[in-house]
Amino acid sequence: MSKIVLDPVTRIEGHLRVETEVINGKVNSAWSTSPLFRGIEPILKNRDPRDAWMITQRLCGVCTYVHSVTSVRSVENALNLTIPGNARVIRNLLMGAQFIHDHIVNFYQLHLLDWVDVVSALSADPAATVTVDRQIYSGRKRTSSYFSGVKQQLQAFAKSGQLGPFNNGYWGHPAYILTPEENLVFMANYLEALKTQMQVAHMHAIYGGKNPHPQTIIVGGITLNKDLTSARITEFKNHVTSAQNFVNTYYLPDTTYLLGRYKDYAKIGIADNLMSFGEFPQSSEEPSSFFFPRGIIFNQATSSVQPVDVGNISEHITHSWYSGSGSLNPAQGQTVPSYSGINTSGQYSWIKAPRYQGQPMEVGPLARVMVNYGKGQSATVQQVNSFLQKTGLKLADMYSTLGRTAARAIETKVIADAMASWAGQVQASSQTLTMPFRKTFTMTSSGSGLGLNEAPRGALGHWLNFSSQKITNYQMVVPSTWNFGPRDASNVPGPVEQALVDVPVADQARPLEVLRVIHSFNPCIACAVHVFDPKSKATFEVESL
C-alpha cells in the first residue's frame, strides 16, 4: 500500500488537494480537500439582497456571470417576479456564451494535456500530420507548412526554458498513447482554441458590458436599454456563428477522435447518481419550458429520470471544518468555520458534503446530457447517438471519465446551435418593443427566495433569507461542492472520491491517470471556497509514500 498526495492539483480554478491510497496498482480510497475557506456567506449578512449578485459573482473569474444570475433569481423568487421576454432571451444568450467559453477552455487548456504529450509532438513529421488532421475532420485544409510552423513554435518554447503551463508535465508517461503526429495536431488546436475563447468571451462584452463579471443583469431583468442596437445584435450573431464553426470543425471532432483512442476510460472514473437543475427557460413557465430539463438519475437508470425536490437536499459537515452537527437543508444552513487540521479520519476540507435523499450526486455536463437524453431532448439524443456510433461505444459507457469529457463537447454543440436561433429573438432598442428589458417592482421588507440554475460545471443553488431589507442568511451550494465534497455523516465518499476508486496508476511518482479523472470534473474550487491569506507561503509537492 502507498499514499499519493497531489497538492496542489494544477490546471484548475482554485486550490485543491487530493490524497489517494494505492493498493496493487489501483486507487483503493481517495480524499478530496479544499484548503481555503470561502467566507462569502458571512460577508453578505446585513447587506441589501439586491446587491448580493454583485458580490457573489466575484467568487470566481472563470465561472463569471453564473453566480450573479443565480443570486438575482433568488431575489426574484422571493418577490414572485417574472422577468420580461427580452431579458430572458438575453440572459440565455449570456449563459450560453459562458458555457461555450468554459467548455472550450476546459478541454483544450485544462484537460487536453492529460491525453496529449507535448514533447512527443516535437518529433512529428508535418507532412504525415496533415493526413492525421484530415482523418480527424475531413474539412480541415491545413498544410504541412502550417504544422511545421506550429512545431517550430513549440520547439522555441521548449528551448526557452520558460515552459509555463507545460512545465512539470508527465511527458513520456506510458499512459500517453498518441503518435507524435496526433500530438502535434492537438497542440496546434490547443493554440487555435486560445483565439476562439477570446472571441467567445467578447459575447459577454456585447450584452454584458465586460468579461469577466458582466454588469447587465439586475433584479427584474436586464439594464440594457438604448444600448441594445441592431449593430450589437448583428455582432453577437456573428460571434455565435464563429463559435459554431469552431465547435463543428475542431471541438466536437477532436473530442470524438481523442476519446476513440482512449476507450479504456469508459470503464474508469465511474458515475452512478446524476442531478441537473435544468437551464435556458424558453418562456415564463419554469421549469417546464427549460431547454435543458430538470431531473435526477439514480444508479445509471437513464430511462427513469426523477423530478427534483430541493427539500431533499442536505449538507453534511461531519468531515468539514465547520461547527455544528447533523445535516441541514441550505435554506436553514449555517457557515461557522472551525479549522482543526487535515485528518482524513476526521475533518479534512472546507467544502461541505451535499446529498440528495442522502445520496451523493454528480452534477455537470454528464448529468445534464444524460438527463436530457432520458427526457428525450431531441438535439442531445441526436448528438449522443452520433458520438456512440462513431466511437463504437454504448450508452452505459457514458457514465465514466470518457462520457464526462464527451458530454462537455456534446452539449457545447447543442447550445451553440440553439443560440443561433435565440440570437434572432432579441429586439433592438429602436424597435417598438413588445418585450421590455426589465420589470419594475416594490422591494418587500422581508422574505426568502431560492435561485437555481445550471452553471457550466453543474447544478448551482443560492438560498436567501432577509428581514428589514437586510440579508439574515445566505447559502450557496455550487457545482464543485457537489462533486468535490468530502465524506458525509455515514462516511460515504463524495462523487470525485468515489470516481477515483479503482483508477489504475502505472507510475506512482507520476499519477497521470488520477489527474485525468479529476480534470474531467473541471474543478472550480474558488467557487466552493474563497478567502485571501497574505501570510501563506506556497509549498507544492507530489508525494509518493
Read off the C-alpha cell for 466: 432577509
CA distance linking residue 400 with residue 270, whole number of Å: 4
Cβ(37)–Cβ(48) below 8 Å: no
Q: pTM score, two decimals?
A: 0.94
β-bridge partners, 38: none
Active site residues: 13, 60, 63, 67, 457, 480, 524, 527
pLDDT score, position 159: 82
pLDDT at 434: 54
Task: Tell me the three state secondary structure of residue 356.
Answer: strand
pLDDT of residue 537: 38
Largest CA distance in the chain: 71
Buried-exposed string 294-321: b where 16+ CB fall within 10 A, e elsewhere:
bbbbbebebeebeebeeeebbbbbbbbb
Q: How far is CA 536 from the centre of its chain?
A: 27
Alpha-carbon distance 380 to 182, whole Å? 28
Asked if the 2-544 domain carries CATH number 3.40.50.300, the reply is no
> If you compute the radius of gyration of the chain from its CA atoms, what whole number of angstroms results?
23
Which 3 state secondary structure label does DSSP give 448?
strand
pLDDT digits (tens, 9 = 90+) for 1-45: 889 999 999 888 888 999 999 999 999 999 999 988 777 888 899
Angle at 207 between CA 202 and CA 213, to 5 degrees: 70
pLDDT averaged per 10 residues in sequence order, the chain, 545 residues:
90 91 96 86 93 90 89 97 94 97 96 96 97 97 97 88 76 96 98 94 93 92 84 95 98 98 98 98 96 98 98 96 89 89 95 97 98 98 98 98 98 98 87 71 96 97 97 95 96 98 95 97 78 36 36
pLDDT at 326: 81
Residue 92 sits at the vertex; the CA angle it makes with 382 and 47, to the nearest 5 degrees, is 140
Give the residue from 366, 353, 387, 382 showing the smallest Cα distance to 297: 366
CA 507 – CA 519 distance, rounded (Å)? 18
d(CA 4, CA 27): 9
- 190-209 pLDDT, tens digit each: 999 999 999 999 999 999 99
Q: Show the cell assigned to 376.
A: 428525450
Q: Does the CA dihedral 501-503-504-505 come out positive or negative?
A: negative
Domain borders along the chain are: 2-544
Q: How far apart are CA 532 and CA 333, in angstroms?
A: 23
Tell which residue, 376, 415, 370, has the closest CA to residue 397: 370
Cell of 515: 489527474
Q: Please give the sequence-ordered ranges of beta strands (E in DSSP) within 250-361, or none if there are none.
A: 274-276, 279-281, 290-292, 295-297, 313-316, 327-328, 353-356
Residue with cell 504525415: 128
Structure confidence at residue 168 (pLDDT) = 73
3-state secondary structure (DSSP) of residue 429: coil
pLDDT of residue 48: 97
Strand pairing report for 470-477 and 458-467? antiparallel
Q: What share of the chain is helix, strand, coil (3-state, %, to 5)?
A: 45, 15, 40
**Residue 145 CB neighbour total at 10 angstroms:** 10
pLDDT number for residue 165 = 73
Cell of 28: 483503493
